[in-house]
């Protein structure tokens, strides 16, 4: 779950950037075909570039925040389990008088 969330958070801005590049390609294609001055034709490419960037960030920001939150919870649980295991080993060591058998 965490690796998928991390991947989504990492890939989303890249997809937004891809959209930005595609939008810019569209703009330059319009410029080369119609020569500069047709602002309405350029607006479509600019719209695509900005819209995909925003979409990528809208997905990436919450996904990254959720990933960090869940990763923090997982780290705390892991630490709790390690502390519990150390405590158990200490109790077992005391119960056997420090003469535990190697398994």
Angstrom distance (rounded) from CA 21 to CA 19: 5
Q: What is the pLDDT of residue 35?
A: 63
According to DSSP, residue 1 is labeled -
User: What's the pLDDT tens digit per position in 19-34?
Assistant: 777 777 777 777 767 6
Query: How far is C-alpha 76 from the geometric centre of its chain's CA atoms?
Result: 20
Domain boundaries, the chain: 2-71
pTM, two decimal places: 0.58
Q: Give per-residue pLDDT as tens, 27-56.
A: 777 776 766 666 666 677 777 777 777 887
User: Is the model's pLDDT at 103 over the cut of 60?
Assistant: no
């Amino acid at each position: 779950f965490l690796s998928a969330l991390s991947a989504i958070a990492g890939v989303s801005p890249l997809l937004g950037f891809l959209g930005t590049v595609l939008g810019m390609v569209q703009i330059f294609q319009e410029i080369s075909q119609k020569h500069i001055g047709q602002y309405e034709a350029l607006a479509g490419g600019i719209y695509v570039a900005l819209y995909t960037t925003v979409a990528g960030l809208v997905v990436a920001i919450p996904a990254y925040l959720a990933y960090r939150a869940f990763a923090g919870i997982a780290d705390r649980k892991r630490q709790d389990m390690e502390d519990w295991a150390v405590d158990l080993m200490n109790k077992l060591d005391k119960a056997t008088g420090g003469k535990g058998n190697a398994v």
